[in-house]
Structure 1
């Protein structure tokens, strides 16, 4: 699975890809990339069918490890357009990309 930089991930989202955050609700509430859809890794196996197969998916977590696992799982379920955001939410925020902080 391809790793993309935060800037490339944002570019793909602006072009129509879906940003999928696989962290848990409490982590998401602390800070998340603007526009990210929450689908916790703990629920992925039962809820992955909610994700569209006809759009590219940019997977994001805290630092990139869980989102890589999630992306590999989705590829195994027949999702063809899945990339992992290298560095995760921490890198996204550090790059100054749009994010939401402290909801909850």
Structure 2
């Protein structure tokens, strides 16, 4: 191998290593949390015994939610004024420890916080649905609405 080819090879290897080190990883998440797409979430719901945890506010839940979801808000947001004992940290014992937990919110931010709370409490099968209910609806998947026409 001549000197010029050796320089090209070394340059290529340096570039490859830099890309591997600095490239963002789509699956990166806090330890113990598995980020999944809405497609994978729908598949999980259809094929597994999963506890579906909606961590939004009651009004958001009432506007639309995934069938079978249980509402336990993670924070007081969007004008919600729930007492601290109504939020996830205080109600964590309502989340089963023997099932996979699928967590979602509106767009995928609060669900990361909720998933972190669950993992820190010892839950190991925690799945964060990326994009939240917005991505679920955008994918054309069904939702339940508690609102009535004229409300």
State the TM-score, normalized to the length of structure 1: 0.94
Alignment check: 8 A CA contact 1:33 1:93 kept: no
What pairs up with 1:1-104 in 2 under 5 angstroms? 1-14=33-46, 15-42=48-75, 43-103=87-147
**C-alpha separation in 2, matches of 1:19 and 1:8:** 13
Question: Higher relative contact order at CA 8 Å, sep ≥6: structure 1 or structure 2?
Answer: 1
Post-superposition offset of 1:66: 0.3
Q: Unpaired runs of 5+ in structure 2?
A: 1-32, 76-86
Secondary structure class of the residue paired with 2:65: strand
Computed over aligned residues only, the root mean square deviation of the Cα atoms, in angstroms, reads: 1.2
Structure 2 Cα separation of the partners of residues 31 and 45 of structure 1: 23
Unaligned stretches of 5+ residues in structure 1:
none
Larger radius of gyration: 2
Which structure shows the bigger proportion of residues in strand conformation?
Answer: 1
User: If the length of structure 2 is used for normalisation, what is the TM-score?
Assistant: 0.66
